[in-house]
Structure 1
C-alpha cells in the first residue's frame, strides 16, 4: 500500500480554470528490453523535474554467454485532435522530447520507427504519398494539408484522417484541414550485454508538463470538481488540504490563486528482465521552487534539500505509475 505523502512548501497562484485554460501532460517512461530471463536490472536511478527526466540503469547479464537484444524507448502517442490540447516540449521535431541515450558512456544513435493510425488503421503510407509529415503538430504539417488535392482531402475526411475545423478569426470564416490521426513513435537500438558484466545505460529527455491556469479540484472555497480523482492519483492528504485552505484564506473570494503543473511518468510497462523487479531503485523529484507545493504517491519519501525529495527501495516492483502535481504562485502580472 502506498502511503499518502505531501511534499510541500506553500505557494499562491491563479483563479478557477476553464477547459481552454488546461494543457494535458503526455505520459512518458523508461526503457523496454526484449524479453530476457538472464538480464537483470541491478539498479535504476530516476530523476524527475519540470525541466528534465534522467534515468541511469545498471543491467547485468547473469548467463555465461553474451546476449544481443533490442532496447526501445516508446515516445508518447501524439493525437491530432483539435479538441485535446497537449503539452509538447519541442513542437517542430520528430524528437519532440529531445531524447538522448548513452551506453557505458558512449552516445547511442537510435533508430526511429513511426506509424500513423486513423480509425485504428495504418495511414502512414497515405501521408507519405502526399508529402505530409507523420508528425501531426507543427506548421509543416498544416501547410502540406492545405496543398492536398480536393479529392484526396475529401477522401481523408471520410476516412477520419483529417477533419475540417471551422472558425472565425476576426477576418472572416475559415475552414482548415486539421490532422486527426495518431502518431506512434519508438526509438530503438540493438545492444549487446556481455556475460557476467554490468552495462550502464543512461537516457534523458524533457518531459511533457501539463498545466491549468487555476485549480480544477478547489474553487468557491471548497474541494470539488476533480478533487476525488486528484486525491487518488496524487495521494492528496489532510496536510495538502490545509495548505490549499490556508492559501484560499489569504485571498478574497476564497480562491487560493494557484495554478497546476502535472507530470506523468509511466513506470509499470517495463519488467522484461530477470525477476521482473529492480534490485535497487531510487527516485528523486525536484519541485524547482522552494515555495511550490508538490504531492505524489510513494513509500518512505524523505526531503533531501529545499526542493528535492527522495525514495529508495530494494527489490522494487512498480505497482503504479508516478503522477506528480505541483502548485505554484500565480504571477500578479499574468
Structure 2
C-alpha cells in the first residue's frame, strides 16, 4: 500500500459548518453483500466517492452452468441513540435516510427494507412497534413520540435501557425529557437471479455521511506530529509531512484570527467485495474532493490525478483488504 497525500491549492472561501459541537462523526456505508459466493464473480467494480454522492457500478458474472437465485443485501450503517450523539445521518425522518437506490440491468429495483432495534444486544423491535414509536433514535418524530408515552411505559423503558432521563433546566425550571438509547440496524435487500454464463449489471447510489471538526485535530498540543490521534490518522488516512505542515500552518493562522482549515471525513466499506467468488476482476476507484481549493489524503496504490478535483486508482484481480477512509481539509474564513 503506497502512502498517498493528494494536495491542491488553498483558497479562503468556505464557511464553518453549523455543528452542534466541535465534532461530527460519519457513518460507514459500503458495498453489496452476497449471501452465496461459490459461483458468481465480480468482474468489475467502478466506485465513485465524493462528499455529496457515492456511485457504484458492478458487473457480475455467473460462471456456472446453472442459474443462481439468491438474495443481495445492502447493510446501512447502524445508528446509535444518546443525548450527545452528533452524527451526520442524512434525512433521519425518512426510513431511507441515506437515499439508497439500486438499478439492475437498467431496471430500477424497489428493495425490501428490514429495520431492527437493539438495546444491550437484545432485539426490542416489537417493543417499539407495540408502542407506536418510530425506530430511528435521531428523528424528531421519535423524540416527540417518547414524550407522549404513558408513565408506566416510560418506567419500563428506563428499566430496559431503551431511554434515559435527560431532563434539563432551561432557566425557568426543570423540563422533563428523555433520550432514546437504542441502536437501529437497517438492511435493504432483494431477490435476484444470475443467469448461467451471463453478466448482470448492478448500480447503486446514496448520499454519504460526512463527519468533521471545526479545526485540524491530528497534532498534539504543541503542534507536533505526535500522539495517539496522529498515529491513527497516519494509519487511517496515510497523511504525510505535507499534510502535517498544512495543519501546523492552519493552527498558527487560527491563533492569529486568520483563515484556517477544517477537517471532513468520509468512509466506504470496501471489504464487502470479498464476499463474492474470487477477486474483483477490474477495480476502479475515483475520488472527488469537492472543490479545487480543498486538500485530500487517503491510502491507495498508484493513485493519479485525473482532473482539478478528481483522483483515480485502478487494479486487476483486486482483493479488498481494507476499507476506504478519506480526510479532506477545507478552507474557511476567519471568524
Alignment TM-score, normalising by the size of structure 2: 0.93
Q: Which residue of 1 aligns with 2:264?
A: 261
Structure 1 residue runs of 4 or more that deviate by more than 6 Å after TM superposition: none
CA distance in structure 2 between the aligned counterparts of 1:23 and 1:224, rounded to whole angstroms: 23
Q: Which residue of 2 aligns with 1:124?
A: 125
Q: Which residue of 2 aligns with 1:6?
A: 5
Confirm whether residue 186 of structure 1 aligns to residue 187 of structure 2: yes
Mean Cα deviation higher: 264-273 or 198-207 = 264-273
Confirm whether residue 324 of structure 1 aligns to residue 326 of structure 2: yes
Does structure 2 conserve the Cα–Cα contact (< 8 Å) formed by 1:248 and 1:256?
no
Q: Which residue of 1 aligns with 2:214?
A: 213
Confirm whether residue 235 of structure 1 aligns to residue 235 of structure 2: no
CA deviations 1:188-216 (Å, max 9, x no partner) are 00011111111000000000000111111
Does structure 1 conserve the Cα–Cα contact (< 8 Å) formed by 2:99 and 2:207?
yes
Q: Which residue of 1 aligns with 2:297?
A: 295
- Measured after TM superposition, the shift of residue 254 of structure 1 is 9.9
CA distance in structure 1 between the aligned counterparts of 2:275 and 2:132, rounded to whole angstroms: 38
Mean Cα deviation higher: 25-34 or 244-253 = 244-253
CA distance in structure 2 between the aligned counterparts of 1:150 and 1:216, rounded to whole angstroms: 44
- Measured after TM superposition, the shift of residue 273 of structure 1 is 1.9
Q: Which residue of 2 aligns with 1:25?
A: 26
Distance change >3 Å, CA 149–CA 326, structure 1 → 2: same
- Unpaired runs of at least 5, structure 2: none
Does structure 2 conserve the Cα–Cα contact (< 8 Å) formed by 1:14 and 1:256?
no
CA distance in structure 2 between the aligned counterparts of 1:234 and 1:266, rounded to whole angstroms: 14
Counting only pairs closer than 5 Å after superposition, residues 121-160 of structure 1 correspond to structure 2 as: 121-160=122-161
- Measured after TM superposition, the shift of residue 137 of structure 1 is 1.7
> In structure 1, the residue corresponding to 2:51 is in which secondary structure?
coil
CA distance in structure 2 between the aligned counterparts of 1:134 and 1:248, rounded to whole angstroms: 41
> In structure 2, the residue corresponding to 1:328 is in which secondary structure?
strand
Counting only pairs closer than 5 Å after superposition, residues 273-284 of structure 1 correspond to structure 2 as: 273-275=276-278, 277-284=279-286
Alignment TM-score, normalising by the size of structure 1: 0.93
Mean Cα deviation higher: 229-238 or 103-112 = 229-238
Confirm whether residue 173 of structure 1 aligns to residue 188 of structure 2: no
Does structure 1 conserve the Cα–Cα contact (< 8 Å) formed by 2:299 and 2:324?
yes
Mean Cα deviation higher: 253-262 or 139-148 = 253-262
- Measured after TM superposition, the shift of residue 247 of structure 1 is 4.2
- Measured after TM superposition, the shift of residue 251 of structure 1 is 5.7
> In structure 2, the residue corresponding to 1:195 is in which secondary structure?
coil
CA distance in structure 1 between the aligned counterparts of 2:305 and 2:291, rounded to whole angstroms: 14
Distance change >3 Å, CA 174–CA 272, structure 1 → 2: same
Does structure 2 conserve the Cα–Cα contact (< 8 Å) formed by 1:46 and 1:54?
yes
Does structure 2 conserve the Cα–Cα contact (< 8 Å) formed by 1:284 and 1:310?
yes
Q: 1:311 aligns with which of 309, 313, 316?
A: 313
- Measured after TM superposition, the shift of residue 174 of structure 1 is 2.0
> In structure 2, the residue corresponding to 1:37 is in which secondary structure?
coil
The alignment's C-alpha RMSD in Å is 2.1
Distance change >3 Å, CA 247–CA 142, structure 1 → 2: closer
CA distance in structure 2 between the aligned counterparts of 1:40 and 1:171, rounded to whole angstroms: 64
> In structure 1, the residue corresponding to 2:329 is in which secondary structure?
strand
Does structure 1 conserve the Cα–Cα contact (< 8 Å) formed by 2:216 and 2:250?
no
Does structure 2 conserve the Cα–Cα contact (< 8 Å) formed by 1:87 and 1:209?
yes
CA distance in structure 2 between the aligned counterparts of 1:21 and 1:202, rounded to whole angstroms: 36
Query: Aligned pair count?
Result: 329
